[in-house]
Amino acid sequence: MKTIGKTKKIALIAHDAMKDEMIEWARENKNELEKHQLCGTGTTSTLLESRVGLEMEKMKSGPYGGDLQIGAKISEGEIDMIIFFHDPLTAQPHDPDIKALLRVATLYDIPIALNRGTAEFLMSSKYLNEEFERKNIDMKELAKKRREEFKDLK
């Protein structure tokens, strides 16, 4: 088990077509977001600082490795939650990086919102401002279990 503190480390990401919606959402949630440590990919972070007034730790832009940087922070225990306004209708040149981010977030049991509705649910969660026990994933045990399941399928 890993205890996540009352102050969360939240990554904010938005694809280009979703940046205006992210800004609007962040303005509506500014008072709550300010209670937490925030980081995000390049342009999204810059816009949230300049247009909303949020203090952000800036990663690189998504196509230049920002999604991978956030994924690395997850594996190091430095991200507790992700709000990602994903554009499902536009092909992204860094789609493999996005898939890697989603994969590592899933592996580490990180709450992740991919749209505004889910973001609202996360922001209204009773756990947002309380400690939360997140299960650690035992990768060796998971791999062993999957090997055994695969053997049973033969």
104 vs 52, 91, 101, 108, 149, CA distance in Å?
29, 21, 5, 6, 22
**Dihedral sign, Cα of residue 87, residue 108, residue 118, residue 44:** negative
Given its phi and psi angles, is residue 99 left (phi above 0), alpha (psi -120 to 50 degrees) or beta? alpha
95 is catalytic: no
| Residue in the structure block whose two tokens are 């440590």 | 37
Q: Which of 16, 20, 67, 95 is catalytic?
A: 67
Instruction: Supply the DSSP symbol for 48.
Output: I
Query: Where in the sequence numbering do the catalytic residues fall?
Result: 67
